[in-house]
Amino acid sequence: MGKNKKLITLFVVILLQAILISIAYAIGFWLGSTRGGLMGEFPILAESYEILKENTIKELPSPKAMEYGMVRGLLQVLNDPYTIFVEPPQHKLETNQLEGKFGGIGARIERNPAGKYLLFPYIDSPAKLAGIQDADQLEKVDDFVIGSDTTVEDVTAAVRGDVGTTVKISISRTSSQEEVMYSIVRKEITLPSLSWNLIPDQPQIGLVQINIISATTPDEVIKAINDLKSKNASHFIIDLRNNGGGLVDAGLKTAALFLNSGVIIEQQYRGQPKKDFPVNKPGLFADIPAVILINHGTASAAEIIAGSLQVQKRVQLIGSPSYGKDSIQLVFDLSDGSSLHVTAAHWWIPGLVFPNNGTGLIPDILFPEEETQSPKLLQAAIEKVLEN
């Protein structure tokens, strides 16, 4: 009986040791995989980093710079020109531009030949009301010191922020040579995506120049055309030259303003069925006489507008072949304010070959690219739209 008891005790001890060893191994594996992270998935990268750290005669870049470099290397291997990494300042400005508004102080920022940043406040802006004067030299934004190597994107991103927040702007003024600090509450500043005017000597023609397709573009187009119509414009030229696109949804809404019916585009995400985007009701401007100007700088959402109107014979295109970008990028905000733009879908216009032999839209009235900014192009547009 005593012998059996000893055997049982020995078995229990061995079993407990085995359990403890298993637990220790599991914990060790978990800690190793947790600590290793992506480096555990890419051992050559980890080895290279350690070799570099131990042996290079040069000073290593900052961890952030190395991390950004690794991301860019990853995207380079992916080999998609539209899947890109955008650092925080540029991402902030890009987001503002596509939203059509931002929180700011209402001042133009210019860099003089000496490399100094100067402020020029707009009339009745928060900066003007706070006391900022034309050509005040920007020294600091909060605790961010402006140096000779500071980029304009970094300066602009620092000045902008959420509406209602306070920013401390430190400036120096030539007249006093003293640094003065102003606390300014940011207000909403609009970024118009387009401009418009009557054609000189042809007041019956309104010109609407759309520079980017932002969230506010459809409403801005309505405002522009209604304003021009109130001034007796009856024919319209829509200028999409050098418009690199923007938001696909805003492009669809803008195109729908000029169409009675039909499908604007079809699109498809990976692993998803294709989706149609039809015109649900006649657009506000479906019957106005119009032509569209394009060139090689016309791309993406701007091509959706021009191409969908061309294929339905709603307008004629005048200019040079457009860029030919038929992909959609999803923008993922990263934890430090940077972003990753990932090509996730393609779109096409039913009944239209696009891209066309490596280019985009083929104009009905073709001009060489170098002549697309010449008065000849505008004159051709005037003559064509007046035929309608």
Mean pLDDT of 247-267: 98
129-174 confidence digits (pLDDT tens): 999 999 999 999 999 999 988 999 999 999 999 999 999 999 998 7
Is the pLDDT score of 311 beyond 60? yes
- Residue 365, judged by CB atoms within 10 A of its CB (0-12, 13-18, 19+), counts as middle
**Amino acid at residue number 67:** E
Phi, psi of 128 (to 5 degrees): -65, -45
- Whether 237 contacts 205, CB under 8 Å: yes
Nearest of 162, 174, 170 to residue 131 by alpha carbon? 170
Q: Identify the DSSP state of 225.
A: H
- Range in 206-220, 254-268, 348-362 the model is least confident about: 348-362
> Does pLDDT of 195 surpass 50?
yes
The full set of domain ranges for the chain reads 40-79, 101-190, 194-385
Distance from C-alpha of 219 to C-alpha of 190, rounded to nearest angstrom: 13
**pLDDT exceeds cutoff 60 at 227:** yes
Q: What is the pLDDT of residue 350?
A: 96
- DSSP lists the bridge partners of residue 109 as 119
Report percent pLDDT > 70 for the chain.
Answer: 89
Task: Please report, for residues 199, 230, 236, 237, 286, the alpha-carbon distance to residue 224 in angstroms, rounded to integers and kept in the order given.
Answer: 14, 10, 11, 12, 15
pLDDT of residue 114: 86
Res 5: pLDDT: 54
Q: Where are the alpha helices (DSSP H) in the chain?
A: 2-41, 43-55, 63-78, 88-99, 126-130, 152-159, 217-230, 248-256, 301-311, 375-385
**DSSP letters for 49-115:** HHHHHHH-SSPPPPHHHHHHHHHHHHHHHHT-TT-EEE-HHHHHHHHHHHHTEEEE--EEEEE-TTS
In this predicted model, what pLDDT tens digit does every residue of 3-56 receive, in sequence order? 555 545 545 445 445 444 444 444 444 434 444 556 678 889 889 989 999 999
The count of C-alpha atoms lying within 13 angstroms of the C-alpha of 216, restricted to the half-sphere facing its C-beta, is: 19
Confidence of residue 2 (pLDDT cuts 50, 70, 90): low
pTM, to two decimals:
0.83
Q: Could you please state the CATH topology (level 3) that the domain comprising 101-190 is classified under.
A: Pdz3 Domain (2.30.42)
The pLDDT of 197-208, averaged and rounded, is 95
pLDDT at 30: 41
Which residues fall within 8 angstroms of residue 156, CB to CB, at 6 or more apart?
89, 93, 109
Q: What is the pLDDT of residue 37?
A: 59
Confidence of residue 176 (pLDDT cuts 50, 70, 90): low
Q: Report the Cα–Cα distance between both ends of the chain, in Å, rounded.
A: 112
The answer, yes or no, to whether residue 178 has pLDDT greater than 50, is: yes
| Range in 37-41, 144-148, 222-226, 305-309 the model is least confident about | 37-41
Of 11-25, 50-64, 72-86, 111-125, minimum mean pLDDT range? 11-25
Give the H/E segment covering residue 202: strand 202-210
CA-wise closest residue to 168 among 144, 190, 203, 150: 144
- Tell me: domain 194-385, CATH 3.90.226.10, correct? yes
